[in-house]
Amino acid sequence: MSSRDSESQVFTPRPALPPPPRTVGLAGWARQNLFSSIPNTLLTLLSAYLVWVLVPPVIDWAILSANFFGDSNDACTGEGACWVFIGQRLNFFIYGFYPDPERWRVNTVFILLALALVPQFFPMVPAKVRTWLGVFALTLYPVLAAVLLMGGLFGLPFIETSKWGGLMLTLVLSYVGIVVSLPVGTLLALGRRSGMPIIRTICVLFIELWRGVPLISVLFMASVMLPLFLPDGVNFDKLLRALIGISMFWSAYMAEVVRGGLQGIPKGQYEAAAALGLGYWKATLLVTLPQALKLVIPGIVNTFIALFKDTTLVLIIGLFDILGAVQSAIVDPAWGHVAIEGYVFAALCFWVFCFGMSQYSQGLERKLHTGHKR
Amino acid sequence: MMRFAAALVAGAATVALSTSAAFAAETLDAVKERGEVVCGVSTGLPGFSNPDESGQWSGIDVDVCRAVGAAVLGDADKVKFVPLTAKERFTALQSGEIDILSRNTTWTLTRDSSLGLNFAGVNYYDGQGFLVKKDLGVSSATELDGASVCIQAGTTTELNLADYFRFKGMEYSPVVFDTSDQTVQGFSAGRCDVLTSDQSQLYALRTKLDDPDSAMVLPEVISKEPLGPVVRQGDDQWFNIVKWTLFAQLNAEELGVTMDNVEDMKSSDNPSIKRLIGTDGDMGEKLGLAADWAANVVAQVGNYGEMFERNVGMDTPLQIARGLNALWTAGGIQYAPPIR
């Protein structure tokens, strides 16, 4: 027995074999994702070749051979990018014609905007603080920014809008466009779905009129035709005309986006709100509109991004937004061929803002996700 | 509001021409009351009107307006510049948004007669020319038969080019681009043998080539492009002021009065100089200006030659020779009637 005992086999678990080396690590990942089939392998090789051909020259141009320091065209060797040009013209690209001693006002407006918006990206900031900052950004901030930028009050010298330009003008145009178009668009969407014939007709007419013409022609009408019809001496500000044009135009687009959301809500929601005894405004503001807006966040942000980029069209009415400022600077004969540097810089500025908006909207979607997503 | 509605109706009925009449003889008073001259310029044309690093406008078209500011208000800095695109420039003037349009605008019969505007003079005689690569071995535009030509689309340049080649019985193939920047890129990349544009622009475009010395401007000029300041028709006093401000600069150059010596010239015995700088006669009064109007212009903006050299001359990146724009006494065609 004892011998049998000693011979009895005790189960000693052996550690599992490692997975075959071909399926783990970098090699395994590459095998599965890059070289799983012949077409896949060919595509991988082609992509690698393209990266090899394209990326090193771009890096070389933009960084390695580029010139960063100096104060004139002489500092540029001509082999790489001439970032000196951007550095020298940066003030013009950001402030336009805004007088030098008053630029702190623009900076203050920028900083306030950053203070109000950047915390929205960080969940660790208490929700209450973020809400208040958001309310500030939509209500008090535009007024404060207008006073600071325009001046003429509290001892600040008056700066006429013809001196505004560059990134600052782009932000003013798009911020006003965004802040005006969402509420106006929402009202128009509600109006279009209203049962009252006069309101509905007005809203439909407004939306179809503004949506039916290109933004360029709106701006042209505002800047070329309107002055001819105004009485002598009445000249209202070119920037204001552009702002009104942009706001009206995008309100019409926004109205259709929001209407899409309103139609996407199940009818039961409307009926349930009515059954609870809620009136039109309460039902709309507490039940249907929040759901509708949540549903169309991607559409709304899409419209915002399009609006942001379309502000460059003010170029054709002689306002210097950031692209206009870049374009007027690259023709300066004191500099060599700097067009690419200028356009890359402008593109980068636009990308930063558009990407920021897109990221924010995705964060918002995650936050408001209540399990209805399909 | 009623006024606005009434104006809308009236405006719809009449439009541009009638509006200009309403401004008759008002511009000078309006400018004095406002304390600044409002001047329409381009959205960026090197040497003519372009904002610099600090957002200050400079160029020969800009200086025309600064000169008017000096003549009328005694201060060349009391000018507000309004950048305008080619399409909106005439409307801005007709509607009273600006007092002077100084935006490399070519003086033509159609514009002079049908827009309700007056051209007050010529501050730059331009003309369409050709830029070629030196290694093409061409020294005259008559040797360009069969060439491919880079042009900017939708400009009078395109029409002038077609006229010229048809008239000379030569063939060419156009390569059309949208902006002047793309045009020069195309030329640089060898898409065409020749680039055509206004001569003043050819010099600016040449600086954008990788090797500016590899290209040259041909001597032929195939069109007349006299560029000058424009004012509204119907206000003869303002028209005279702008016209004579330019003439004063030309006369100053002819008489040797410069920015530096204008103070000393006040003790000059030359009767022409005395009339110009206001130590004799009542020339300023006749225009409705102060006696030292022209002295202010020369002291703050310079005479015509100084204005030319500072903005587009040989010491600037554009390196344009005086050519047609030299005084009539120096082989050019810049000629001003006498101040007397």
CATH code for the domain of A283:
1.10.3720.10
Given an 8 Å threshold on Cβ–Cβ distance, is A336 in contact with B51?
A: no
Read off the pLDDT of each residue in B311-335 and give the average, rounded to a whole number. 90
| Distance to chain B for A103, nearest Cα, Å | 12
Q: What pLDDT is attached to residue B9?
A: 38
pLDDT in tens, B226-253: 999 999 998 999 999 999 999 999 999 9
pLDDT at B16: 41
SS (H, E, C) A257-276: HHHHHHHHCCHHHHHHHHHC
Q: Which residues of B touch A336 (CB under 8 A)?
A: 207-208, 210
Helix axes B236-255, B60-73, angle to 10 degrees: 110
Helices A297-310 and A238-264 pack at an angle, to 10 degrees, of 160
Q: Is the pLDDT of residue B4 over 70?
A: no
Distance in Å, alpha carbon of B264 to nearest chain A alpha carbon: 35
Residues of B in contact with A327 (CB under 8 A): 43-44
Chain A positions in Cβ-Cβ contact with residue B211 (cut-off 8 Å)? none
Assess B185–A contact: CB distance below 8 Å, yes or no. Answer: yes
Q: Which of A344-353, B5-14, B140-149 has the lowest mean pLDDT?
A: B5-14
Residue B23, chain A, CB below 8 Å: the answer is yes
Q: Which residues of A touch B95 (CB under 8 A)?
A: 227-228, 230, 235
Residue A356 lies in a domain: yes
pTM of the model: 0.82
Q: What is the pLDDT of residue B13?
A: 37
**pLDDT(B12) > 60:** no
**Is A331–B50 a contact, with Cβ atoms under 8 angstroms apart?**
yes
Kindly list the residues from chain B whose CB atom is less than 8 angstroms away from the CB atom of residue A92.
51-55
The tens digit of pLDDT for each residue in B90-124 reads 888 988 889 999 988 889 898 899 888 999 999 99
A75: in domain: no
Per CB-CB distance under 8 Å, the chain B contacts of A326 are none
CA distance A188 to chain B (A): 26
B210 has a chain A CB within 8 A of its CB: yes
Pick the CATH number of B27-125+227-330 from 1.20.140.10, 3.40.190.10, 3.30.1490.20, 2.40.240.20: 3.40.190.10
Q: What is the pLDDT of residue B61?
A: 94
Task: Judge whether residue B215 has pLDDT over 50.
Answer: yes
> Touching check for A13 and chain B: CB below 8 Å?
no
The DSSP secondary-structure symbol of A9 reads: P
Give the closest of A78, A228, A332 to B19, CB-based: A228
- Contact across the interface for B88 and A162, Cβ inside 8 Å: no
With a cut of 70, say whether residue B166 has pLDDT above it. Answer: yes
User: pLDDT exceeding 70 applies to what percent of chain B?
Assistant: 92
Q: Is B180 on the interface with A (CB under 8 A)?
A: yes
At which residue do the structure tokens 């000393």 appear? B264
The verdict on a CB contact (< 8 Å) between B87 and A328 is: no
* Contact between B97 and A235 using a beta-carbon 8 Å cutoff: yes
Q: Give the position of tokens 């049998």.
A: A4
> CA of B200: which chain A residue's CA is closest?
A333
| Structural domain that includes position A42 | 26-63
Spatial distance between the Cα atoms of A229 and B13, rounded to a whole number of angstroms: 10
Classified as helix, coil or strand, A321 is strand
Contact: B95, A78; criterion CB under 8 Å: no
What local confidence, expressed as pLDDT, does residue A173 receive?
Answer: 92
pLDDT, residue A372, reads 62
Domain ranges of chain B: 27-125+227-330, 128-223
Instruction: Say if residue A219 is in the same domain as residue A342.
Output: yes
Interchain CB contact of B124 with A (< 8 Å): no
Question: Structural domain tally of chain A?
Answer: 2
How does pLDDT run across B265-306, given as a tens digit for each residue? 888 889 999 999 888 888 899 999 999 999 999 999 999 999
Low-confidence ranges of chain A (pLDDT < 70): 1-7, 231-235, 371-374
Mark yes or no for CB contact B43/A324 under 8 Å.
Answer: yes
Residue in chain B lying closest to A343 (CA) = B181
* Concatenated DSSP letters of A27-82: HHHHHHHTSSSHHHHHHHHHHHHHHHHHHHHHHIIIIIS-B---SSGGG--SSS-B
Residues 280-299 (A) with a CB less than 8 A from some CB of B: none
pLDDT at A25: 79
- CATH topology agreement for domains B27-125+227-330 and B128-223: yes
Read off the DSSP letter of residue A255: H
By the 10 Å C-beta count (0-12 exposed, 13-18 middle, 19+ buried), B10 is classed as middle
Q: Does A8 map to a domain?
A: no
A334 in B contact zone (CB under 8 Å)? yes
3-state secondary structure of A2: helix
Q: Which of B36, B72, B1, B52 is CA-nearest to residue B244?
A: B72
Query: Shortest CA distance to B104 belongs to which of B77, B140, B65?
Result: B65
Using CA atoms, how far apart are residues B287 and A139, in angstroms rounded to an integer?
53
A34 and A88 both lie in a single domain: no
Tell me the residues of chain B between 149 and 178 that have a Cβ less than 8 Å away from chain A. none
Which residues in chain A touch residue B88, judged by CB atoms under 8 angstroms apart? 220, 223-224, 317-318
* Predicted local confidence at residue A360, as pLDDT: 86
Name the residue in chain B with its Cα closest to that of A339: B181
> Do A89 and B203 make contact, defined as CB atoms within 8 angstroms?
no
Helices (H), chain A: 2-7, 25-33, 38-59, 83-95, 103-117, 127-138, 140-150, 166-192, 197-211, 215-220, 226-229, 238-264, 267-275, 280-282, 289-295, 297-310, 322-330, 339-367
Structural domain B128-223, CATH architecture: 3-Layer(aba) Sandwich (3.40)
Decide if A230 and B11 are in contact by the 8 Å CB cutoff.
Answer: yes
B55:A339 CB<8 A? no
- Chain-chain contact of A92 with B16 (C-beta, under 8 angstroms): no
In a domain, A270, yes or no: yes
Tally C-beta pairs within 8 A across A and B.
Answer: 121
Contacts of B19 in chain A (CB under 8 A): 228, 232
A-chain CB neighbours of B53 within 8 Å are: 88-89, 91-92
Q: Give strand pairing partners of B79.
A: B37
